Structure 1
């Protein structure tokens, strides 16, 4: 029978350590006794380092006591301020010595630092997850996207930055493709910008992005990953006609569609949705939909609105267990809105 904390096995301690920042583990456990000292310092325990909200002194201390002696054990690095990022990459280069680094999070980075850092990331043999948030618009967007696409084992990529350029023209060879499977873009891009990036991601399974059709000049969409089955879209200035035009290029393999739209009341045309799904989305299993429209008598005819949303109660929607409701609310600028959205079906519990 286990009678005290120290009687726990090493394996249980390793599982507990997963819930702590590696620096906290060092501070708490490394000087307790020889056993914990060995567990922390003289082992292959993976290290996750979070350089967030630190003074320059604390940052240097963490680098000297944990990072420098254990570069080969680090699997995750997270930064949350451009000054800390500057300090780190002035002292270190993320080269092949970081042989286990899998996850890199760069929050609030300055645009000037992005290309030098991305250039070194290609040397990391196990980097599969990259998150970038920039505090400035990106000027050299072509170079940035090319460097991301060339990361050899990247699977997960989350990007939150605006672009100066309206058009992306990537200088890549025909045989250069990204290994990205899960892509999140938290900034509004037009169709041209998005399309010129997606043609280099043939392994993409899941895409989450905000699309604008303003300033989009491309007549046809390029072939997007045949593996794309989960799509999360936010549309603010796009009509149903425009949405229907580009969604058919990759809708046939979709299994999940999560869609947020605004303004155009045609998005509430249930008959049109039914035709689109039956003709182009036969594999669709989950449909999460949210549409909001300004609550103004000059914009919306309430009788027509209710006639439209009532059609989402037909057998087509019920058979698929896709249910919807609506309510009214006011935004922070006191604009009144009506929101129509998906709800999860109520599931009865069988009691035998």
Structure 2
């Protein structure tokens, strides 16, 4: 295949540059930055997260140079949206690691292989979605309605929909049908050890179960994130590159934020509002008979919604904020009690 020939509407050499960059980042991540089983500290995680975000944003400049301003803005909007939705994924990953009691120094191995699986799964889902949109344009309206429904559901349910992992169907199936070791065996996913018959048999470790549950969790998140990016742009190249660059930094983002997830308590309503906005603008564009809402407006509104969610979260969860609220509530109760006592006649 010649590098100038087209694949999914873009020259093969554009895809080759993107895939080569992703491969370099994965090799760097596994072979250089996180060699061995050392625990990843918060400082290192913050630096790595900033590095991945910088690479993702810089790739938008490459898109601008090759495909123009509109494509670059659509890429950046998709990147910001996917990075923000990945925050919700971080909450779930923390829950999964807590459920399996995965030691911190083993978590980076699970996340690395989990991200590799995500890259493949997203490629399949995005390819399928692109084929649907190209063949049936009305599918975008279905995506839009689904996003609005999902956003309203998120606003209504809050954190109540996180569920009990012990009731997860995939996990229960694996526990019934696979031989699972009683504990972790180093950083291994599989191990051979004597079974009930005394012969060596293949066992999976709890680390492998955690990996599979994380992959299933990403499938669930992809049901939201893939329609969200297609509502921003239908260009498969922009959809896939923005998705993958947002996901590549997920591991570093997790270790950077795992200890302070409680500080983002109000981010979920912001993500819900973002999904409603993304779905709503597709429907509004259809009603008004225009091709789409201008990309710069989408990017500006996206930033505004997310910034509001982050700022409110940081203010509401500040260390002294709860104490101040409790003090004010106590003062109000005392004031109310005093007023009540003054209003009661003394017999």
TM range (shorter): under 0.3
Task: Kindly indicate which of the two structures has a greater share of residues assigned to strand.
Answer: 1
In the superposition, the TM-score normalised over structure 2's length comes to: 0.20
In the superposition, the TM-score normalised over structure 1's length comes to: 0.20
Task: Kindly indicate which of the two structures has a greater share of residues assigned to helix.
Answer: 2
**Greater relative contact order: 1 or 2 (C-alpha under 8 angstroms, separation 6 or more)?**
2
